[in-house]
Structure 1
């Protein structure tokens, strides 16, 4: 499918780059003189810290919290369905429109700002869902209205996250251009800030005394767990505002020239217009033009996320149920397990951050595909270890007693080691796609949206099937982790055997 002329022009966004550009048909400056400074890339990537702070709270606290509101474990994963569904459409659409955005503020920054604002609104709704439910008529243990408000806020949060992440990745790809090394460095920075956000978010989620520091969060409708959740999201709002400002003020984007409009959404891009239809056809045409290597990357991405999503959904729930033997709203064991799981995820994020620092060296030494494949095999072994820990705990303890210290320590070690493959998952696939689609004439926003399809489709499958699948084998989380281990191992083998090194990687090995 022919790429429209307006798409093939991919203007460099940073003013530093445009100021040093030579004549259009002249030799131009050296690539090194056009490079964006590393500290600029660092600031642009910092928004990932604020986004991931909220994600960490969402991943560690919201699956247990929704069960405390009355949603059965078998249906808890359905609540997460909006994330992949919105990602299926929102990220490619936002990426496509941002590629053509003609706002004087730039192509990506208006979407980042709108997404961050939506995140703030969403977390306020989630944190106050029990209070709003009480105002609307909830009474007693059954909190139907609170669940409805929670789901609305939860789905808005997923929409906002998908609206924000794609343009953030695309902005980094715009700033690094065809410099493959800087593309990997930029994605490593993004992964590093995700790790920092995770550490802070999971640490916040593991602390059980926020309701004392923010006493106004505890109300007649909102118990201690609810008050801690509300306070954590108030802290999240502060992080979002600070990191969004740092990122958006780091550089000045060059707006996409257009004779039709000076806004992101011109008449040509409204619903039902030829431009909107072009997006749908272009997205389908994109798949037809993808080379075999990109299809392999997408396949490995699918297998990787079938592995990751059960863990991201049920990590703290696994700690509360299988390790601590508790149930929501029954005693203190489940809550203790959830907080211990948040501590494990904080350790996970520390390892993720350390791995991000060495990401570039790993990829240069082993090749990006091999690095990704080995990380998937490590992930598979960690999920297998979780199954073994579950079996050992069941045979060593009696119901109603806290687990042995050795079992808890083993679970925390597995959570920590999973930070290594998670860092690589957050970075390497994006760099691989960004460096392999530039010759196709695709905008980076659309290419990130295409990769996101390979992430959200397995998430839809897991969201629909994980709860019923677990229920079929007794109601625990082990069946989903078994499938995750198999898929992660298969993805690792495919990545090692089928993703070739780039010319740059081969030349580095030769020298």
Structure 2
């Protein structure tokens, strides 16, 4: 029998019947062509993956060469953190927000009692946005690289809490410091100087603490987007609790009787109440900070170089580290995708809306609703305390909304909920403008105090504003933390990037709101009108531009 040809051997290996050589030759070439095509497809797939890796590498090349090739610290793998522990970690927000509530409700009226005109009171708040512009991104960058045995975030949280306690002591004793240095008149420049110094330290400390707190929650939840939203909702809930306690403390006018040593020749009853409230704040921030850092059990970064300092900088002086930070921050901004820019834009417009309210809420109640002026009768002080009560109601609604937020976002989408809440905020600001007009018409008729209907309406507006405020405190952070991971940024630096979209509008409002109000005859109405427009624009942008995800089925969380 004649030997088989090569093509026949191929067919026999696959159990094909013998065929004529003239017909088997094309089948052989077809099979070889098929193999060639499979090989080419695999090469294309490999090439696509390689290009994807090159793109990721190009993003990282925004960091200087000396920083990229050093022995960088690597985060250790941590186990899934139970929600009850996340709840305890988020509790530090309660202590931070307690002091922030006192700051919001009492310090704008207090600095006017020290002699600062209303038109310039907002400039005092400029130090907060300016410190946040640099401090929070820099602290986030440093905490991403911190190799302390206590963890990456906890050293910064503890240091910030200590600075908060130090700063509120200075603010509470600013009148006494001014008296000691020679202040005797109605305008007390030395007391104002001490106040501004303490205020600046307080804002630095708030930014130094809050960013690492949120970054710590993002670290503990990993890439689970739903758990990240839940953790931020916990944070927002504790902010609401801190607000309730802080505003309730600020609305009570008898603290100087409980702490009689706070009442001095330089410090009247309002000043003594402020000083006493800050003593309570120190105790509160100490307790909540301990609970949070004890529950975190943060795993330190694993450094490849044992001689690496606690915060890994580039070789040389701290200037190199600062340069690396700026390169990494601004170098990665150009790689932001469209949804990230939309989130930053909506955040900026949202805070143009919020900041006039946060600056002048109690001042609006004292001036426009009660018709008072600082240091000119009891109406203004009564209005300020009533405004603090309204802010307490605001915080109650904020807390309830924080509990329901996860279900709302899961059903309707986070962007849609954010947009609707901002439109509601705009409607509330418009209602405040209408109520201002009504209250002024009542005061012109000679009434000493406003009717109960006007006061109740003002308190109701304050309470309703708690709903959009809860969304503002939670949803943007969850959205940015889940979308910025692809850029290779640490959670600390990602929170710093979002913070830029918050503090830059605050700088604009701080510089412009006082002169803007003065241009239209004083008062707070012009700033609230701008706030309403910005809030409405941010709401429409969020609804139309932030992609909506479909309804998600609830999953078990432990």
Shorter chain as normaliser: what TM range? over 0.9
Partner of 2:460: 413
Cα offset for 1:192?
0.2
Cα distance in structure 1, aligned partners of 2:69 and 2:400: 42
Match of 1:207 in 2: 252
- Describe how 1:274-423 pairs up with structure 2 within 5 A: 274-397=320-443, 398-399=445-446, 401-423=448-470
Preserved CA contact (<8 Å) 2:391 2:463: yes
Rounded Cα–Cα distance in structure 2 between residues aligned with 1:269 and 1:91: 23
1:418-437 superposed Cα distances (whole Å, 9 cap, x missing partner)? 00000000000000001111
Report how far residue 35 of structure 1 moved: 2.1
How far 1:399 moved relative to its partner?
Answer: 4.8
Which whole-Å deviations, capped at 9, do the CAs of 1:186-209 have from their partners, x for residues lacking one? 000000000000000000000000
* Cα distance in 2, alignment partners of residues 98 and 269 from structure 1: 18
Q: Deviations over 1:99-142 (max 9, x none)?
A: 00011110000000000000000000000001111111111322
What are the within-5 Å matches in structure 2 for residues 127-276 of structure 1?
Answer: 127-258=172-303, 259=305, 261=307, 263-266=309-312, 268=314, 272-276=318-322
Aligned residues: 488
Q: Does 2:126 match 1:62?
A: no
Alpha-carbon shift at residue 383 of structure 1 (Å) = 0.3
1:404-446, CA deviations, whole angstroms, 9 ceiling, x for partnerless residues?
Answer: 1000000000000000000000000000001111122110000
What's the RMSD between the two structures over aligned residues? 1.7
- Uncovered stretches (5+) of structure 2, i.e. residues with no partner: 1-57, 61-67
How far apart are residue 394 of structure 1 and its match?
A: 1.4
Q: What SS does structure 1 have at the residue aligned with 2:374?
A: coil
| Conservation of the 8 A alpha-carbon contact between 1:138 and 1:145 | yes
In 2: Cα distance, 1:320 partner to 1:117 partner: 33
Q: Which has the larger radius of gyration?
A: 2
From 131, 135, 143, give the equivalent of 1:90.
Answer: 135
TM-score norm. by structure 1 comes to 0.93
Deviations 1:182-236 (A, max 9, x none): 0000000000000000000000000000010111100000000000000000000
Q: Given the superposition, is the C-alpha separation of residues 283 and 7 from structure 1 closer, same or farther in structure 2, using an over 3 Å criterion?
A: farther
Per-residue CA deviation, residues 366-402 of structure 1 (Å, 9 max, x unaligned), is 1000000000000000000000100111123335610
Work out which of the residue numbers 57, 61, 75 in structure 2 matches 1:11: 75
Deviates more, 1:359-368 or 1:272-281: 272-281
Partner of 1:113: 158
Give TM-score, length-normalised by structure 2: 0.85
Displacement after TM superposition at 1:276 (Å): 2.5
Number of the residue aligned with 1:434 = 481
Query: CA 1:269–1:136 in structure 2 vs 1: closer, same or farther (change >3 Å)?
Result: farther
The 8 Å contact of residues 251 and 389 in structure 2, kept in 1 or not, is answered as: yes
Instruction: Name the structure 2 match of 1:27.
Output: none
User: Aligned equivalents of 1:299 and 1:356: distance in 2?
Assistant: 23
> Are the equivalent residues in 2 in contact too, given 1:7–1:443 (CA < 8 A)?
no
Separation in 2, partners of 1:320, 1:8: 54
Compute the displacement of 1:506 (Å): 5.6
Aligned mates of 2:315, 2:188 — CA distance in 1: 42
- 2: distance between equivalents of 1:102 and 1:480? 45
